[in-house]
């Protein structure tokens, strides 16, 4: 393919919600794009679509075009691990079908299009997998590049004034369902993304663990809680339920680490206090 006849796709990480977390690389990438594909997840999360449109309006170059499409719906009814995995695979196949249609019908050869992805698309997102499936099919020739963004777990650690990693200790990044089933291991810390409630419901009585939790991090509705897991988990589950009812959706993450390895103590052996913090306008923690 030559530069004149191939389509180019940019997968642009736009951070966890704070417009100031959009990187200079992401801004430059948006200025190079002629078509922006925005997937609409329905009225319940219309705020996310609005935020993406605002970023496009602020940073995109002249003459750009926005193409909206309805994201395929996932079956989220309770189920076992095997059925859940099958449903996710089916949803990703249908997403690949949609991507193929959008690239073929809305992006002319020689043009550049973009998908704006929350957080860092290289960390935990299905966009790259869907594009790989479309590329493997070979029906619509294109190339793509990934522009990394500021991830929600990075913002979570920064908001709590801590680090994701500690000296000589690994950190595992896993969905809540996996953490609920596998348990907590003393030899590693865990950053939980997706289904955080499942992990907390399974381990909310675990002693010896410290939790840093955040929801809507990087947005005006940000919620933050830290403290011993056994002391704050039930309160966090209540906050999650209240926030989901209020907004119609929730995006949250947490970092779990063993207190015996400095989770509950700062330098000099001083214990960290429980911290409850909410952004202005958010429900009181």
Q: What is the pLDDT of residue 87?
A: 85
Helices and strands in the chain: count of H runs, count of E runs? 8, 11
Considering the entire predicted model, what is its pTM?
Answer: 0.86
Residue pair 139/102 in contact by the 8 Å Cβ criterion: no
Spatial CB neighbours of 21, under 8 Å, sequence gap ≥ 6: 14, 15, 149, 150, 155, 218
Whether 152-278 and 7-147 are alike in CATH topology: the answer is: no
Q: Indicate the CATH number for domain 152-278.
A: 3.30.950.10
Q: What is the pLDDT of residue 88?
A: 83
Split at pLDDT 50, 70, 90, the class of 46 is confident
Token digits of residue 9: 């796709």
| DSSP summary character for residue 233 | H
Higher local confidence (pLDDT), 263 or 23:
23
pLDDT at 282 over 50: no
Gap between the Cα atoms of 136 and 5, Å rounded: 19
Q: What is the pLDDT of residue 280?
A: 41
Gap between the Cα atoms of 258 and 261, Å rounded: 6
Average pLDDT over residues 103-132: 94
Q: What is the pLDDT of residue 237?
A: 96
The pLDDT tens digits of the residues spanning 161-206 come to 999 998 888 999 999 999 999 999 988 999 999 899 999 999 999 9
Q: What is the pLDDT of residue 230?
A: 95
pLDDT at 80 over 80: no
pLDDT at 208 over 90: yes
At the top level of CATH, the class of 7-147 is alpha beta
pLDDT at 279 over 70: no
Q: What is the pLDDT of residue 43?
A: 62
- What mean pLDDT value characterizes the chain? 87
The pLDDT tens digits of the residues spanning 4-31 come to 668 999 999 999 989 999 999 999 999 9
Split at pLDDT 50, 70, 90, the class of 263 is very low
Query: In the chain, where are the structural domains located?
Result: 7-147, 152-278
Portion of the chain with pLDDT greater than 70, in percent: 86
């Amino acid at each position: 393919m030559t530069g004149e006849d191939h389509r180019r796709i940019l997968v642009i990480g736009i951070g966890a919600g704070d417009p100031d977390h959009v990187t200079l690389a992401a801004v430059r990438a948006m200025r190079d794009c002629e078509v922006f594909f925005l997937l609409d997840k329905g009225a319940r999360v219309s705020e996310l679509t609005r935020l993406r449109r605002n970023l496009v309006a602020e940073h995109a170059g002249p003459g750009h075009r926005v193409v909206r499409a309805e994201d395929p719906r996932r079956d989220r009814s309770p189920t076992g691990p095997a059925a859940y995995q099958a449903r996710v695979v089916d949803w990703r196949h249908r997403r690949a079908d949609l991507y193929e249609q959008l690239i073929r019908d809305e992006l002319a050869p020689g043009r550049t299009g973009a998908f704006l992805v929350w957080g860092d698309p290289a960390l935990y997102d299905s966009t790259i997998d869907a594009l790989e499936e479309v590329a493997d099919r070979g029906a619509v020739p294109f190339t793509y590049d990934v522009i990394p963004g500021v991830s929600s777990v990075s913002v979570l650690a920064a908001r709590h004034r801590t680090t994701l990693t500690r000296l000589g200790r690994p950190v595992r990044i896993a969905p809540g369902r996996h953490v609920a089933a596998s348990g907590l291991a003393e030899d590693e810390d865990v950053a939980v993304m997706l289904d955080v409630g499942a992990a907390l419901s399974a381990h909310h009585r675990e002693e010896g663990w410290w939790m840093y939790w955040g929801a809507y991090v990087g947005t005006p509705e940000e919620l933050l809680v830290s403290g011993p897991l056994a002391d704050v988990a039930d309160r966090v589950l209540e906050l999650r339920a209240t926030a989901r009812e209020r907004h119609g959706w929730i995006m949250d993450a947490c970092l779990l680490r063993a207190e015996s390895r400095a989770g509950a103590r700062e330098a000099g052996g001083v214990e960290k206090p429980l911290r409850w913090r909410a952004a202005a306008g958010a429900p009181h923690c």
